[in-house]
Amino acid sequence: MAAIIQGIGAATAQTSANSLDTKKSFFSISRRSLSVGAERKGRSFVVRSDGRLSYGLNGRGGRAEQLITNAVAAKEDTAAASTSSKPGHELLLFEALREGLEEEMDRDPAVCVMGEDVGHYGGSYKVTKGLAPKYGDLRVLDTPIAENSFTGMGIGAAMTGLRPVIEGMNMGFLLLAFNQISNNCGMLHYTSGGQFKIPVVIRGPGGVGRQLGAEHSQRLESYFQSIPGIQMVACSTPYNAKGLMKAAIRSDNPVILFEHVLLYNLKERIPDEEYVLNLEEAEMVRPGEHVTILTYSRMRYHVMQAAKTLVNKGYDPEVIDIRSLKPFDLHTIGNSVKKTHRVLIVEECMRTGGIGASLTAAITENFHDYLDAPIICLSSQDVPTPYAGTLENWTVVQPAQIVSAVEQLCQ
């Protein structure tokens, strides 16, 4: 704890009383509406990585099955074996994040966790459940509702040699810590002349949930992508969630790990043996020949649902989960563009200044001569996310739009 306190002065700014007052209501809402079961207005649900849904009654009838639909392309159907016959163990995505975090805390005593309710409550989505009794309150530190302060404390702790994992209860709340993340987290290694490393991980839930309102549906990828010195990754499966978590903790660079609120209950069988993924590597989800579809996070499943329709119509899309939002894996992306000569980008980020805009610019600069058609980018509308469920769906990209865009590209 002494090491943490020593670093506070280097990176912590004061948090205003106003920010504490305005967020008391958010804090109470988060405990109710951002629970691990994602049970709002329906049954608890589990979405397996092979697209199958399983349900459990929570005492309230509803439409939980509408949250994520079957999303596996036809080319994968024939190759996919039953999950019960594969080696390894099945985990939900939030459990995979916890397993990766716990393994790193066992391996390295410098790894610690801090954030609101991460201790004995176990976190809003239970990613840190059970860690406080195992590691104690000094390594799993419950903080006040003061993002600016505890983010700065974590950055200061990283300067002194610890490896903090800072949880934002909701990514939208980290806007209150933007100064710490921008002016300190991303720049201190450079501005100190290399005297300090900042091995910190900033993680938490974001994205459009299910009627969580505009403030709880933020997509901050575009906000953070311009900060020098920051790496950004987005997980989309239990397998890559664990692998990216472990890689982010081991990195000497500050890493922001984006998690989607609707993917925490995704289930997948992952290996029993230890593995660590590359923070700068994209994932080839589905090889194809006709068009390259670049996506990440929740939109991976909308793309794969659209891919089933496209295959039935005679198209052969190549789907890549870019995973690394900064920097882009231009090697994997470039090889695909050189093969298909057509690019569709599908994101949940806002259209103006989003990840898709940066990706479009990078592809145009590096692979323009290989393109046979203009790049199409499907993004969320530039509006605050409505609370009404029907309107909320209209603001994000749907599978039918993806199908139409591919048909347009391949004319």
- The residues pairing with 167 across neighbouring beta strands, listed in sequence order, are 115, 203
Copy the structure tokens of residue 13.
């700014």
Kindly name the residue from 39, 95, 104, 147 that is annotated as catalytic.
147
C-alpha–C-alpha distance, residues 276 and 158, integer Å: 21
The alpha carbon of residue 10 and the mean position of all alpha carbons in its chain are separated, in whole angstroms, by: 29
Kindly name the residue from 189, 216, 260, 302 that is annotated as catalytic.
216
Copy the structure tokens of residue 376.
């199409």
Is 147 noted as a catalytic residue in this protein?
yes
* Distant-in-sequence, close-in-space partners of 304: CB < 8 Å, separation ≥ 6: 51, 71, 72, 73, 76, 285, 286, 319
CB neighbour burial string for 7-22, b if at least 16 within 10 angstroms, e if fewer: bbebbbeebeeeeeee
Q: Determine the residue type at 171.
A: M
State the residue for tokens 């093969």. 339
Q: What is the DSSP string of 274-309?
A: -----TT--EEEE--SSEEEEE-TTHHHHHHHHHHH
Q: How far is CA 22 from CA 12, 66, 214, 264, in A?
A: 21, 33, 15, 27
* Distant-in-sequence, close-in-space partners of 374: CB < 8 Å, separation ≥ 6: none
Is 216 noted as a catalytic residue in this protein?
yes
C-alpha–C-alpha distance, residues 126 and 92, integer Å: 11
- The residues pairing with 55 across neighbouring beta strands, listed in sequence order, are 45
- The residues pairing with 6 across neighbouring beta strands, listed in sequence order, are none
Q: For residues 157 and 7, is the Cβ–Cβ distance under 8 A?
A: yes
For 258, list phi and psi in degrees, rounded to 5: -90, 130
Copy the structure tokens of residue 304.
């794969």
Q: Determine the residue type at 197.
A: K
Q: Determine the residue type at 315.
A: Y
* Distant-in-sequence, close-in-space partners of 349: CB < 8 Å, separation ≥ 6: 219, 221, 222, 355, 356, 379, 380
CA dihedral 99, 103, 104, 107 (to 10 degrees): 170
**E-assigned strand segments in 14-153:** 44-48, 53-56, 89-92, 111-115, 140-142
Residue numbers annotated as active site: 147, 216
